[in-house]
Amino acid sequence: MRVAWAALAATMLLPMAAMGADAPKALAAPRARIESADYRASGHLVRVDANGARISSPITIKAHWFPGVLRVDVELGTASKTGSDSLLSGHIPAHILLEMRPGGRSTILVAHPGDKAAAVLPFDKWSDGPLGNEFSYEDFLEAQYFWEGQTTLGEAKFGARDCDQLKSTPGTTDKSHYSEVKSWLDHTIGFPVYVEKTLQGGAVKEFTYFGLRQNGGVWSASQVEAKLRGHAGSTLLIIDRGAPRANLGLKDFSPAQLTHF
């Protein structure tokens, strides 16, 4: 069974005054899923350019919710042309450790082969990505469900699914390159089927979730497509296999392991 785990986020207490009356109900399922995270998943991150050419990098993601912090470890292999054995220069393996804490105090560490220690990724680089900025480092965080501003926008259809629309806006302590995020959450399971993320400069990124399924009581998507509105090409997060209950511990997220390739 193909399983993906795309909803990764930090946690914080939200002032009730910042929420609409129905916002806590809409947020309950996404937050519960994040705050019970304990999974491994593997597949590929694929960049499709305007001409249809593909660059693919193997990816492994593991995540676990600890008291007050979500830790996510992402391992990216050397990128290659899809269906070819030739490796691509400029796309080297990377190990990434994301840690999310209350109040927006998130950090991202990155290491590449030959590094003696992982380096802190500066905030101005969070909007970059390993295969372009359509699926950026910040998009692995998925912290919008814990931002200060939460407003429900009513019910809407996305395809055949009945959804609850939610608009999330960051507070003063929330570190993000996005000014707002609108989510279409399946009305029954609370899982996102479509998300629009507006960058502070006004550009909009569109995320569509495919192959929603449940495994071990956990809902996930088998594929997430990220597109920059008005631009050709996209980036796909494709998961081939995963385990929703991986029994991970602190040793699985040691910064020292980031330099082991």
pLDDT digits (tens, 9 = 90+) for 84-125: 455 555 567 999 999 988 677 899 999 999 999 999 999 999
Query: What residues contact residue 8 under an 8 Å CB cut-off, 6+ apart?
Result: 34, 37, 63, 70, 72, 98, 100, 140, 141, 142
Rounded to two decimals, the pTM is: 0.86
Q: Are 40 and 246 in contact (CB under 8 A)?
A: yes
CB 58 within 8 A of CB 66: no
75 near 40, Cβ under 8 Å? no
State how far the Cα of 149 lies from the Cα of 210, in Å rounded to an integer.
Answer: 27
pLDDT of residue 109: 97
**Cβ 55 vs Cβ 86: under 8 Å:** no
State residue 103's pLDDT score: 73
Domain limits, the chain: 16-240
Of the CA atoms within 13 Å of residue 231, those in its CB half-sphere come to: 16
- Nearest one of 169, 107, 179 to 144, comparing CA atoms: 169
Find out if CATH 3.30.465.10 is the number for domain 16-240. no
Phi/psi at 64 (5° precision): -150, 140
What residues in the chain have per-residue pLDDT under 50? 1-21, 83-84
Q: Give the pLDDT of residue 93.
A: 93
In this prediction, residue 14 carries a pLDDT of 31
In the prediction, which pLDDT does 88 show?
Answer: 57
Percentage of residues in the chain having pLDDT higher than 70: 87
Please give the pLDDT value at position 232.
Answer: 94
